[in-house]
């Protein structure tokens, strides 16, 4: 659980910015989205394959772009 103590003479905006950064570092939102929707095992497998293909294509584009 992420929490931030507001320091003396600290504005609300800066405390909110620190809180958002801490939430992002702990990957709380990512984990919440992951568990918010149920995926069947076959759908998970299909999604994993799709993401792997995207990674491969991205690497290929990067390697050809540098040449």
Q: What is the pTM of this model?
A: 0.48
Do both 46 and 65 map to the same domain?
yes
Query: What is the separation of C-alpha 14 from the centre of its chain, rounded to a whole number of angstroms?
Result: 22
Pure H helices in 1-67: 12-25, 28-36, 41-66
Provide the pLDDT for residue 33. 83
- For 26, half-sphere exposure in the C-beta direction (CA atoms, 13 angstrom radius) is 12
Tokens of 13: 């905006």
Do both 31 and 43 map to the same domain?
no
- Looking at the structure of the chain, the number of domains it has is 2
Q: What is the pLDDT of residues 20-67, one digit of tens each?
A: 999 888 888 888 888 888 989 999 999 999 999 999 999 998 888 765
Asked if 2 and 20 touch (Cβ cutoff 8 Å), the reply is no
Do both 46 and 31 map to the same domain?
no
């Amino acid at each position: 659980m992420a929490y931030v103590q507001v320091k003396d003479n600290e504005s609300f905006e800066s405390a909110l910015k620190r809180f958002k950064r801490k939430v992002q570092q702990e990957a709380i939102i990512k984990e919440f989205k992951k568990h918010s929707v149920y995926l069947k095992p076959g759908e998970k497998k299909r999604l994993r394959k799709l993401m792997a293909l995207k990674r491969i294509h991205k690497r290929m584009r990067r390697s050809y772009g540098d040449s």
